[in-house]
Amino acid sequence: METSKGLHKLNKKKGEAITGIIMVAPAVILLLIFVFAPLVIAVYRSFFNITGAGVEFVGIEFYQKTLTNKMFLQSILNVFIFAIIITVLQIVLSFLFANVLVRLKGHFGVFARTIIYLPYLLSGIVVAVIFTLLTTFNGGILNSILGAMGIDPVAWNNDQFWAPVCIIAPSIWIGFGYTTLVLYAGLINVPKDYYEAAEMDGAGFLRTTFSISIPCMKNYFILLIVTNIVNNLQMYEIPMIMTNGQPLNKTLTPVLYIMHSRANGNISDSEITAMSIVVMIIILLINSCVFYLFKDKEGRKA
């Protein structure tokens, strides 16, 4: 009897394993065809100079050129600065507004959550066009307001100080709603008993924020920090339309530089591939860090 029960459990586990494999197989096959295979081909091509005259093995030559390309390195520095500023401001502002949303009840609360999420549904191109209408030198809404006040117009998209600001502002605006709702979800999942006990002890907003909210929402913050940094490292739509990487390459990003290089044809396709792989490696390193942090967190829980 016990033997038959053991066989039944074993067969059940095998059946579940087979079912799981069948369900996962389509996704794995698609990943192999459309992700891993192109990645392997791209890495392979980056070690060869492929021209009309033939194929020449050049080793890591294109990677050396990439890592010594001053304009490409400038674009990496630009996007890191953008990513840090955007991530910090967006998370701080979103966290403060999420605390407001928690206190909004009824239909007004639902309406507020819906409205702030709407910009996230827009593409980067649409957002760039909207903000371009605000910042255009001739006929822009901001300069029209300044003109009505008797103030000289500002070259928002061509000034070394204001051009980066023109990239940062719409980038924060487009992700503000998503980040706020994620933090809102984190706040409502913090046990209310903690806040009630803190209130009885006379703790104010700052004390409860740093002693209860932030520690309890650590994983939410880690997720948002990494997601924001990775997304901003790949930005190109907003700077492409608003500034095209100018002035003096102050708003140039790696993806935008790669697109310009491909369009101008001034470097080989293999070198462009090497640049893309370098950007991918940076993103993978950041993702690896977050996976490590999550794993470490789970390990401490265990």
Give the contacts of 101 (CB within 8 A, at least 6 positions apart).
109, 112, 113, 180, 184
pLDDT in the model for residue 95: 93
**What mean pLDDT is reported for the chain?**
84
pLDDT band, very low/low/confident/very high, at 302 (cuts 50, 70, 90): very low
CA distance 255 to 244: 12
The DSSP code for 120 is G
Residue 299 pLDDT grade (very low, low, confident, very high; cuts 50, 70, 90): very low
Average pLDDT on 39-51 reads 85
Return d(Cα 92, Cα 115) in angstroms, integer.
19
pLDDT, greater one: 186 or 288 = 186
Nearest-10 crossing angle of helices 162-188, 124-135:
130
pLDDT at 87 over 50: yes
- pLDDT for the residue 184: 92
Where residue 124 falls among pLDDT bands split at 50, 70, 90?
confident
**pLDDT tens per residue, range 64-84:** 988 888 999 999 999 989 998
- Other Cβ atoms less than 10 A from the Cβ of 133: the count is 12
Predicted local confidence at residue 8, as pLDDT: 56
Burial class (CB in 10 A: 0-12, 13-18, 19+), 280: middle
Write the CB contacts of 186 (distance below 8 Å, at least 6 apart in sequence). Answer: 98, 216, 217, 220
Q: How deeply is 171 buried, as exposed, middle or buried, from its count of CB atoms within 10 A (0-12, 13-18, 19+)?
A: buried
pTM assigned to the model: 0.82
